[in-house]
């Protein structure tokens, strides 16, 4: 008791005040009172688990662009500060991370690098808050195609399922004509993206090459380690062709396991998500002649600006960019231009700037190598979509054919009308 | 539901053989993992949710040995033994502290270990999924055709290896002194201690054996697909279903349940491709209603 009594309340208050004053003087004003001038961008993405590499590739792409912006003086001395957080691919966690960005970090914009399920959750958060949001990963068409889901402050910089489906179907139709492929099967992951991809691909294929027969559909669950039951079904049905939207490690496992059955000797595989460096380099003995869309490869589009992008990224990080990287790069590029042109971070001005904006890009195939953020649905068009066949070594793809954006736009309209979204 | 497709499949020799062979391979790989889980639960009374993480470690260890030596057999054996040794340390340092603890404490500990191991493998081997260890050269041959059914020779090897493991497990548990002590530990460890047997050694041995089996399953799985952090999460659910259907603690039950699940998935893909997971849960529910202790579990 004596030792406690020796420190009177007055003495404790004095000492505490002195320490607080010393800390304050030493560090200037408390951080909360400092004028925080940076432009803050919140990035919810997946940094753990099976697709962590993709989230990291988003972070790399964004950092590459913002480092350039900051080192060139920023916006009148204001730098861009990226705040990247892991959602663990969970929609509720992505929504929570987003709310924190808005309420606690007071971000100026959100670059949403989440898969489809979580992107819908993020969309609802930004609809409420009015925060500017750039979706750079989700490919589910509905996110921007369904007018009831759209919001004035959200833009899509990622591929869209219906665009890829039309591009894929048109390419498949040429191979059907060439090789007489009649009997089809499909293997797609059993969740929103897989079902969307299956529906839109066969819907579009019917337009280009009617009269094919679907022998069966396999729906493995996401991250399933063993595909035997699907592969035995394929081996039994002996289709001429298989369409799959499996991706990442799941696609690698499927191809490795199917190769044991000799499936690819007589059956053409159309794997929309194969041609990404991380996936192709992981397949054991990548079979020659598999068909894939060009997710991201340095060989396509076959332009200097694309090769330069690949080189800059590879020099910095020792690895090739991914499909998620280019989408994030194009998104941040638009945002930086908008910040510069509008002279600040007013979300309404930036949204107005982006709507209908055509911009030169390494992934652009529009006039003068441009991509465009379409005015009516605030989604990217005229980005590179190509299909080709695999070869076992770098550059991994050859015989690449470009998709035709006029055809894509035409069939997209028809699809939107069918859905009642136009 | 395509019930006619299932009927057509059953009367077609090619379909029947290929789906049966596929189901057997799925079931036998599952048995390797589930048998370790049921053994640990039966003897130690611990629900080891981290068993899937040990399966993942087996895949990573075998990948590492394969990368260094290029020898498939060595990679699989070292993968399994490595996880066995890891399991021994896991049991001595952590698991033995929660033998008599509340179930929630056990789950909390195991869940923590899952998170730590998932992150640890990403720190050591990178966050990108790895290409598997592949099929040994001797099995890189065209598949067999039996009545027009396609069967990869490597799948036959996997089934044979798993059958041998099942037989060895049965022999160890029924014909050896260690097996008798294990069974006695499961029934009455206090009596065994009173007779001068060090049950801590038995428990550590059982956990090591269970971990070895998980590692073996992971190493063989690495030959058939990619290796990635978190890959144990999907197998653990199926392993628990097998354990519940077969009877908690029964290796024979795990063997039968694994085959049932393998066949359900293989033939389920023909009849109800969108409901194959549902079939597994349905079987589990039916067993729980009709025989709550599991097919070969003992009533308590």
Cα distances (Å, whole numbers) of residue A383 to A100, A197, A359, A377, A407: 32, 18, 11, 16, 14
Average model confidence (pLDDT) across chain B: 92
Q: Which residues on A lie below 8 Å from B135 (Cβ)?
A: 260
In this predicted structure, what is the pLDDT of residue A10? 52
- pLDDT higher than 70, residue B300: no
**Mutation choice for B interface testing from A236, A237, A263 by most B CBs within 10 A:** A236
The answer to whether the CB atoms of A228 and B26 lie below 8 A apart is yes
Q: pLDDT tens digit string along B183-197?
A: 999 888 899 999 999
- pLDDT higher than 50, residue A31: no
A47 versus B211: the higher-pLDDT residue is: B211
Average model confidence (pLDDT) across chain A: 90
Nearest to A225 among B127, B229, B231 (CB): B231
The model's confidence at residue B280, banded by pLDDT at 50, 70 and 90, is very high
The answer to whether the CB atoms of A262 and B143 lie below 8 A apart is yes
In this predicted structure, what is the pLDDT of residue A4? 40
Range of lowest pLDDT (A24-33, A185-194, A240-249, B49-58)? A24-33
Distance CA A82, CA A107 (A): 9
Q: pLDDT tens digit string along B74-101?
A: 999 999 999 999 999 999 999 999 988 8
Distance CA B300, CA A240 (A): 55
Distance of CA A248 to the CA centre of its chain: 13
The answer to whether the CB atoms of A219 and B273 lie below 8 A apart is yes
Q: pLDDT tens digit string along A276-315?
A: 888 888 887 788 999 999 999 999 999 999 999 999 999 9
Distance CA A408, CA A381 (A): 10
Do residues B273 and A216 make contact, with C-beta atoms less than 8 angstroms apart? yes
- pLDDT higher than 50, residue A23: no
* Nearest residue in chain A measured CA to CA from B139: A260
Q: pLDDT tens digit string along A131-156?
A: 999 999 999 899 999 999 999 999 99
* Nearest residue in chain A measured CA to CA from B235: A225
- pLDDT higher than 90, residue A399: yes
For the beta sheet containing A132-135, the strands, ordered from the edge strand earlier in sequence to the opposite edge, are A80-86, A39-45, A109-112, A132-135, A154-156
According to DSSP, the β-strands at A213-218 and A241-244 are unpaired
Distance CA A150, CA A160 (A): 14
- What's the whole-number mean pLDDT along residues B26-35? 95
- What's the whole-number mean pLDDT along residues B244-273? 92
- What's the whole-number mean pLDDT along residues A61-73? 97
The model's confidence at residue A27, banded by pLDDT at 50, 70 and 90, is very low
* Nearest residue in chain A measured CA to CA from B151: A261
Nearest to A218 among B23, B230, B269 (CB): B269
- What's the whole-number mean pLDDT along residues A187-213? 93
The model's confidence at residue A254, banded by pLDDT at 50, 70 and 90, is very high
- What's the whole-number mean pLDDT along residues B37-53? 92
DSSP state of A37: -
In this predicted structure, what is the pLDDT of residue A108? 97
In this predicted structure, what is the pLDDT of residue A16? 46
Cβ pairs bridging A and B (under 8 Å):
131
């Amino acid at each position: 008791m004596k030792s406690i009594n020796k420190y009177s309340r007055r003495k404790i208050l004095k000492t505490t005040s002195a320490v607080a004053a010393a800390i304050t003087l030493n560090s200037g004003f408390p951080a909360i009172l400092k004028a925080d001038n940076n432009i803050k961008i919140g990035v919810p993405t997946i940094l753990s688990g099976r697709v962590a590499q993709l989230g990291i590739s988003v972070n790399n792409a964004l950092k590459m662009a913002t480092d350039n912006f900051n080192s060139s003086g920023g916006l009148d001395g204001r730098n861009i500060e990226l705040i990247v957080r892991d959602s663990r691919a969970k929609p509720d966690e992505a929504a929570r991370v987003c709310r924190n960005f808005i309420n606690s970090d007071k971000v100026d914009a959100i670059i949403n690098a989440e898969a489809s399920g979580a992107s819908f959750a993020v969309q609802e958060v930004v609809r409420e808050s009015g925060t500017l949001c750039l979706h750079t990963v989700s490919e589910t068409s509905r996110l921007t195609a369904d007018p009831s889901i759209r919001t004035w402050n959200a833009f899509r910089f990622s591929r869209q399922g219906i665009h890829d489906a039309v591009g894929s179907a048109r390419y498949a139709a040429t191979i059907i004509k060439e090789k007489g492929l009649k009997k089809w099967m499909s293997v797609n992951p059993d969740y929103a993206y897989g079902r969307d991809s299956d529906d839109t691909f066969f819907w579009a294929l019917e337009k280009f090459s009617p009269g094919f027969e679907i022998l069966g559909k396999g729906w493995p669950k996401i991250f399933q380690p063993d595909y035997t039951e699907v592969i035995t079904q394929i081996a039994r049905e002996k289709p001429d062709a298989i369409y799959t939207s499996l991706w990442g490690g799941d696609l690698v496992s499927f191809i490795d396991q199917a190769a044991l059955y000799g499936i690819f000797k007589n059956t053409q595989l159309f794997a929309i998500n194969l041609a990404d460096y991380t996936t192709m380099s992981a397949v054991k003995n990548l079979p020659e002649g598999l068909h894939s869309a060009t997710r991201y490869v340095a060989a396509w589009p076959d332009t200097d600006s694309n090769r330069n992008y690949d080189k800059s990224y590879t020099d910095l990080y020792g690895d090739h960019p991914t499909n998620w990287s280019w989408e994030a790069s194009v998104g941040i590029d638009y945002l930086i231009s908008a910040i510069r042109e509008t002279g600040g971070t007013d979300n309404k001005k930036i949204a107005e700037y982006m709507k209908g904006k055509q911009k030169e890009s390494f992934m652009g195939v529009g006039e003068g190598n441009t991509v465009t953020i379409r005015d009516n649905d605030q989604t990217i068009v005229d980005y590179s979509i190509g299909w080709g066949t695999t070869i076992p070594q770098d550059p991994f793809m050859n015989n690449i054919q470009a998709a035709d954006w006029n055809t894509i736009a035409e069939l997209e309209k028809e699809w939107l009308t069918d859905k009642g979204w136009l | 539901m395509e019930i006619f497709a299932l009927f057509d499949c059953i009367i077609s020799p090619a379909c029947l053989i290929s789906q049966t062979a596929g189901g057997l391979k799925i079931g036998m790989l599952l048995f390797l993992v589930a048998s370790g889980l049921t053994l640990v639960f039966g003897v130690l009374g611990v629900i080891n949710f981290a068993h899937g993480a040990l399966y993942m470690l087996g895949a990573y260890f075998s990948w590492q040995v394969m990368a260094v030596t290029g020898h498939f057999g060595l990679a699989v054996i070292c993968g399994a033994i490595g996880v066995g040794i890891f399991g021994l340390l896991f049991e001595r340092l952590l698991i033995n502290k929660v033998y008599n603890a509340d179930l929630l404490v056990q789950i909390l500990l195991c869940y923590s270990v899952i998170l730590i191991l998932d992150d640890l493998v990403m720190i050591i081997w990178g966050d990108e999924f790895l290409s598997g260890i592949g099929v040994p050269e001797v099995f890189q041959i065209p598949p067999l055709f039996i009545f027009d059914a396609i069967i990869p020779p490597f799948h036959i090897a996997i089934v044979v290896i798993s059958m041998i493991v099942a037989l060895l497990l049965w022999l160890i548990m029924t014909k050896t002194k260690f097996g008798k002590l294990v069974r006695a530990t499961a029934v009455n460890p206090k009596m065994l201690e009173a007779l001068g047997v060090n049950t801590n050694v038995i428990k550590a041995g059982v956990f090591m054996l269970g971990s070895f089996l998980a590692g073996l399953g992971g190493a063989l799985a690495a030959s058939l697909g990619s290796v990635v952090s978190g890959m144990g999460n999907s197998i653990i659910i199926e392993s628990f279903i097998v354990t519940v259907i077969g009877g908690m603690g029964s290796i024979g039950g795990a063997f039968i349940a694994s085959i049932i699940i393998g066949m359900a998935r293989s033939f389920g893909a023909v009849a109800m491709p969108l409901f194959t997971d549902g079939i597994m849960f349905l079987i589990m529910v039916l067993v729980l209603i009709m025989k709550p202790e599991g097919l070969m579990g003992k009533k308590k």
